Every structure is written in C-alpha cells, then in structure tokens.
Amino acid sequence: MFAHIHALIFALIEEGPVDGLRLDHIDGLLDPKLYLETLRALSAPDLSGGRENSGAA
C-alpha cells in the first residue's frame, strides 16, 4: 500500500524533476522512523545504507 500511495512521488523522483522531499508533521504517524526508512529505501535505494555507505566519516 505504501508504494501505491507514493507512486507519483516515486515516479517524479525517477524522472528527475524532483530531487528532494519535504515532510511535515511525521510525528503524528504511528511509527515515524519506519515511515522514513521505507520512504528512503524506495525513493533513494543507493542512499538507504545511510552514512556507512556514503563514505562520510
């Protein structure tokens, strides 16, 4: 269901006109951390590993 609801966002990211997202009031979600992790994994899979995979110290 998550991918279906966010399909337009993912399509725009894939096509290139969107290169960032603003998320407001995620503190009202049941599990904000899971939401962010899922969003990142599906919208930017190359970044889903976090700092460990980015080369940042």
pLDDT of residue 51: 45
Model pLDDT, residue 48: 61
Q: How far apart are CA 40 and CA 34, in angstroms?
A: 10
Burial of 43 (0-12, 13-18, 19+ CB in 10 A): middle
Model confidence over 10-57: pLDDT tens digits? 899 888 888 788 999 999 999 999 999 999 888 877 766 654 444 444
Dump pLDDT digits (tens) for 37-49: 999 888 877 766 6
Distance from C-alpha of 8 to C-alpha of 18, rounded to nearest angstrom? 11
Query: What confidence score (pLDDT) does residue 16 get?
Result: 84
pLDDT at 53: 43
What per-residue confidence (pLDDT) applies to 24? 93
Q: Nearest-5° angle of CA 1, CA 20, CA 18?
A: 80
